[in-house]
Amino acid sequence: MTTPFYGPDFDALEQFDPEIAGVLVSELARIRSGLQLIASENMSSPAVIAALGSTLTNKYAEGYPGRRYYGGCSEVDKAETLAIERCKALFDADHANVQPHSGASANQAVYGAFMQPGDTILSMALPMGGHLTHGTKVSFSGKWFNAVSYGVERESENIDYAEVERLAKEHRPKVILAGGSAIPRLIDFEFFRNLADEVGAIFWVDAAHFIGLVAGKAIPSPVPYADVVSFTTHKVLRGPRAGAIVCKEEHAKTIDKAVFPMMQGGPQMHSIAAKAVNFKECATPEYADYAKQVIANARQLATSLGEHGIRPTTGGTDTHLSLHDLQGIGVTGAEAEQRADAAGIVLNKNAIPFDPAKPNIASGIRVGSPSVTTQGMGTDEMKVIADLIHTAITQGDGDPEHPVAKQVRAGVSELVERFPAYPR
């Protein structure tokens, strides 16, 4: 019998296209055999995967429930309505749009809703923990809009709120954006709200990384403070690879028009159904417990790595991720990523604040706890994982056949056998 992790018609796929079928099998084996510490990844439930692999993928449904440009949308309307209502309830939001295909698509829609080409946005610089779509020159956001960037304090490595205030008053941006991809600490949403009101700006939060912790009531929510909140559904939230937006009622029509027809055409109804399933999962007490454990695990992992000389920036974390400076142990981020991967540990190189190295080399690594927490691991296991990471990146050489890589892989195997991903 096939499992839902391969899809309901895996046998037919295997007969028609054994090469792609093989990729599905080997990817599941990869997940099961290693430690997944990418902060922006997680493991969707069988229920979410089942919705993704459904016949809803066939339906073209431009528009919104009850207002489609195609016939035959009665059933997909039910799925999208459920997703919208569950999203609003989960985040106590006035309005939700569940159609964005990704976090970048959601962000593009926010730009489209509130800005014209050439307008100014104040956002966190990518090298300091921001995101590519927050005004980086190689992104549409940096090509179309005037991005003014704030950073972190050199000593604390936390957001430099004094700089944010100074830049906001100097440049009077159309939009002020909080959030990023490598921010370990909580963000002061009330400060940003008050500042946006003072300079007459829209306050936008990109909560892609931490929205799952908000859903689990483990950290404060940006929704009461922000005009608009964009996010992905596949990180801590543990849903399908996609995006969504919540906003205040006064911006509802503007956001909906920016998603469709401005930025997207037909929505992916199978993905929207999977989001509905995910939002229902996130409203359970079990998920709230999970979100709290994600933070506990991230804190322990950061502390334990720090004890090995792998310094956590900002001194630790309040969320699901920590960013670590490797300069003290004489290893680059690129070397650490390669050596860890050779030993069955998946993490990513990452720039640290004021990094002297190039981005493709980097002086740091970013580690996240969502996936291993999904597997059931706790703080004791985080101590073991820190030991394994330290051994792999300080004694290995990136060759999977190196004795140290084999030694670490044996430790990884022991963990994943006790805490399997997608148990057979």
Catalogue the active-site residues: 60, 62, 206, 232, 235, 241
187 contacts 178 by C-beta, under 8 angstroms = yes
Q: What gap in Å lies between CA 244 and CA 107, rounded to an integer?
A: 9
Helices (DSSP H) in 115-160: which residue ranges?
Answer: 140-144
Instruction: Give the single-character DSSP code of 187.
Output: P
339 contacts 398 by C-beta, under 8 angstroms = yes
Q: What gap in Å lies between CA 145 and CA 127, rounded to an integer?
A: 19
Q: What gap in Å lies between CA 42 and CA 108, rounded to an integer?
A: 24
Q: What gap in Å lies between CA 283 and CA 86, rounded to an integer?
A: 9
- Strands (DSSP E) contained in 144-242 are 146-150, 175-178, 202-206, 228-232
Per-residue tokens: 323:
């960013």
126 is in an annotated binding site: yes
Label residue 199 exposed, middle or buried (CB < 10 Å: 0-12, 13-18, 19+): middle
Phi/psi at 288 (5° precision): -60, -40
- Strands (DSSP E) contained in 263-404 are 311-312, 321-325, 345-346, 348-350, 364-368
Best CA proximity match to 268, nearest among 111, 91, 54, 71: 54
Pairing verdict, β 228-232 and 202-206: parallel
155 is in an annotated binding site: no
131 is in an annotated binding site: yes
Q: What is the three-class DSSP state of 149? A: strand
Give residue 100's Cα distance to chain centre: 15
351 contacts 361 by C-beta, under 8 angstroms = no
132 is in an annotated binding site: yes
Tokens 């050489």 correspond to 397
Q: What gap in Å lies between CA 123 and CA 150, rounded to an integer?
A: 6
Q: What gap in Å lies between CA 307 and CA 298, rounded to an integer?
A: 14
Q: Binding site for (6S)-5,6,7,8-tetrahydrofolate: what residues are annotated? A: 126, 130-132, 249
Residue ranges of the annotated binding site are 126, 130-132, 249
